[in-house]
Structure 1
């Protein structure tokens, strides 16, 4: 469970995972992130100070003609001062992990899609992209940066 399947590439410091997924699903500040067909969502895990933690929710936005081609962000509640929620944003290809090369998961593009959504003029937050150096040679579309989404002060 502790082996990493995707990079953490989005961090929220102002809310919990339920708010992230609900706001994006309902289109609170931008277009709705919706999955037109019910899809089985497999939980993944992150390692938080040695403890394995399961997914706390999903934000999904179907794109393209194939129903399983979607931007997908798994979200995890955290209890750190400047990181209340961590997200693993990626783009699921139509083949959805059946012989799919890593390049098809488009981690940086997906992070940008999430950051752009939260960058709207009506959102109560600010956004920036920060290089935190969490690169891995197995994630060729991840550039070691995170989208940092924080409360306006």
Structure 2
């Protein structure tokens, strides 16, 4: 059984995103928003913009393929136009299986879906400033005891990049797991084939389709997902439901890899009714694997505070796996 040390800040893991947002915003900041470490279009704090607008998904059959589609995604907002001079953020296109293309009322695959959403979008510099604010807020809290070896160099979100050569990014899901010595390939091998492995295998329908995400590094560079680990969840109604970890090897002393663990909802949230990514539950599922027969690993939890309104199932707590 894994040796387990619960490591919590004095504020505790029950802190809400609203509480932390209020603490980060200054009393005179008229551009404070509901999203943590984000601000309005006119902010002078060099933070990304919390923008409201229309998200459009377009699905086109992929040439020379019977079961693959090309998903083209774009977001249009007057907040972006005010801040950056261009209202349109276009995402890198992705290849998706037919099972991830929503159906209309006539049970035919739709070609277009438009929803009103709020997104956090900014330059790489602005997004790194936001992550630094989150880390600074964490450092200012009194600690009950030593915290895991995570510091302000470690990324706390991953991002979707713009399709052009600009440095614009859309904040994605909050990261929530980290390993001291295991790199992404070792983690993947162990979870798929090692002790207690075999259950961490992807859904047959989604295994070949793995969209890249990106993390920002202290030198100003970015890097895409290194490895994916998935665990198919059998379901008679939804064949795409699974736990999914995106893994990133990172160049930090005391942290070899970080990850974003979530549960893929049915149709990846493109249809109403199942849009909960259950991030905390996914983290606990990862923890369950490492707690089974890995005597050489300590499992710690620590509150980082990288919460997100869009991913409300993440309470801000990470799991950190270090060697005994």
Instruction: Flag whether TM exceeds 0.5 (same fold).
Output: yes
Q: Count matched residues.
A: 151
**Structure-2 change in CA distance of 1:3 and 1:102 (3 Å):** farther
Q: Secondary structure at the match of 2:266?
A: coil
Query: 1:95, CA displacement in angstroms?
Result: 1.4
RMSD, aligned α-carbons = 1.8
Task: Please give the residue correspondences for 1:2-151 in structure 2 after superposition, counting only pairs within 5 Å.
Answer: 2-26=169-193, 28-32=194-198, 33-37=200-204, 38-49=207-218, 50-65=220-235, 66-99=238-271, 104-151=276-323
Query: 1:128, CA displacement in angstroms?
Result: 1.4
Query: 1:29, CA displacement in angstroms?
Result: 2.3
Kept in 2: contact 1:102–1:138 (CA 8 A): no
Q: Distance in 1 between matches of 2:299 and 2:288?
A: 8
- Unpaired stretches in structure 2, ≥5 consecutive residues: 1-160, 162-168
Query: 1:92, CA displacement in angstroms?
Result: 0.3
When Rg is computed on C-alpha atoms for both structures, the one with the higher figure is: 2
Kept in 2: contact 1:17–1:57 (CA 8 A): yes
Q: Distance in 1 between matches of 2:284 and 2:255?
A: 18
Give TM-score, length-normalised by structure 2. 0.44
Give TM-score, length-normalised by structure 1. 0.90
User: Taking CA–CA contacts closer than 8 Å with sequence separation of 6 or more, which of the two structures ends up with the larger relative contact order?
Assistant: 1
- Unpaired stretches in structure 1, ≥5 consecutive residues: none
